[in-house]
Structure 1
Amino acid sequence: MAMTEASREVGVVVRRRSIDNPWIDQLWSPAMILDEVPSTAPWTALSTEADATTYYAGSASIDLFSAETANYRDNLADGAPRIWVALRRQDGGAELELTKITADPTEGEAMFESGCDVIGTVPMPPEIASWIAAFVDRFHVERVFHKRKRDRASGDRPRVPGGRPDEGTGRT
């Protein structure tokens, strides 16, 4: 079965805050997703406050796959759908590279284990939520759960969890 795919380019905005910490001077976090890619150059400062600067990090692609529609549906049904954003330091320096964004909660959670330097979530813009909902409506197929049955042909006897094969059977 061929996997259906859709893709949409969006803009990503991040924030750098100065913090009082003996080990790091600043903290980066995703700030928002723009439903359209602006003509602004990547890493342009958008606003500066006393302790924070907001940057347009650049564009990234949200990729949708028909095999993952249940995950997108769960994200949308949550009431506050999210987009996961990952950034990585370039060559160990201070510069960040936008590496991945996703609307799939399972993939988003896996990004936390990927070794990226900055990972966070931002609210999903309504236009993107509508686009994802239309994709789910078009391609979602409910999958029936089939419970596996244990193969008792090998003569397995019931076991007590953590015990020897004889325990719990009355045999000694």
Structure 2
Amino acid sequence: MPKSFPNAQTIPVGVAVRRTPGVTRWAKHAWRVSAVLPGAGAADWKLLRTEGDVAEFHAATLPLTLYVSDAEAYAHELQTRDPSIYIILRQNEAASDFPWKVAVVTASPYEAQDYCDSSEELVEKIPMPEGLHAWVLEFVENFYEEEAFVKRRRKNMNVDQVEDGIGDPRIRQVSDVYRAPRRKVALN
């Protein structure tokens, strides 16, 4: 059930992570976010299924919060070919069988880009499920107002009567017609 605040709405979203065998001798396993589960209950690396060496876990459930101030970002994401949810994973510092922990779930491509600038997090892009897409779309329709483009106009100024600024003041010549005039300083 989504929670509503004056400037935000929140829904819990579960994150499913798939573990596959590594392809090099240096990486025992490869980890990828495989799905998001809107409205999921709490979980801490709960095993969902296994197929041979591949295992899928419900890694965590975090709140997905939509803010009115970020409505433009959500609108841009909904206009893409494949609207997505972004999951940010951080390395797990604690000694554990799971090297990643789910840090953030967001629908904002701008916020995800900020996390991409750092090499410490892993940013995963997952297609937005239909129900979540409808929820984000309703939020954008309710709160996003596109700003009208207003072209600035120059002030009407008559600049053809003054020759200030013509010439290069770095060139020292006695009679340079194009050099900017200098003000003489009176010595006391």
Q: How far apart are the structure 2 equivalents of 1:93 and 1:49?
A: 26
Q: How far apart are the structure 1 equivalents of 2:134 and 2:15?
A: 18
Q: How far apart are the structure 2 equivalents of 1:116 and 1:69?
A: 27
Distance 1:156 1:47, change over 3 A: farther
- Deviation at residue 149 of structure 1 after TM alignment: 8.0
Q: Deviations over 1:122-150 (max 9, x none)?
A: 11111111111111111111123456789
Name the residue aligned to 1:13.
16
1:77 pairs with 68, 76, 79, which one? 79
Whichever residue aligns with residue 104 of structure 2, its letter is: K
How many residues in Structure 1 have an aligned counterpart in Structure 2?
157
- Deviation at residue 23 of structure 1 after TM alignment: 2.5
Matches within 5 A, 1:32-71: 32-38=35-41, 41-71=43-73
Q: Which has the higher contact order (CA 8 A, sep 6+)?
A: 1
Secondary structure of 2:93 counterpart: helix
Whichever residue aligns with residue 68 of structure 2, its letter is: S
Stretch moving more, 119-128 or 137-146:
137-146
Distance 1:149 1:22, change over 3 A: farther
Q: Deviations over 1:79-110 (max 9, x none)?
A: 31100101112216453221001101111122
- Between structure 1 and structure 2, the one with the greater Rg is 2
Distance 1:112 1:93, change over 3 A: farther
Distance 1:147 1:30, change over 3 A: farther
Stretches of structure 2 lacking an aligned partner (at least 5 in a row): 1-5, 172-177, 180-188
- Deviation at residue 113 of structure 1 after TM alignment: 2.3
Distance 1:138 1:23, change over 3 A: same
Normalised TM-score (structure 2): 0.71
Stretch moving more, 118-127 or 87-96:
87-96
Stretches of structure 1 lacking an aligned partner (at least 5 in a row): 158-164
Contact 2:11 2:39 in 1 (8 A): no
Name the residue aligned to 1:162.
none
Distance 1:11 1:149, change over 3 A: same
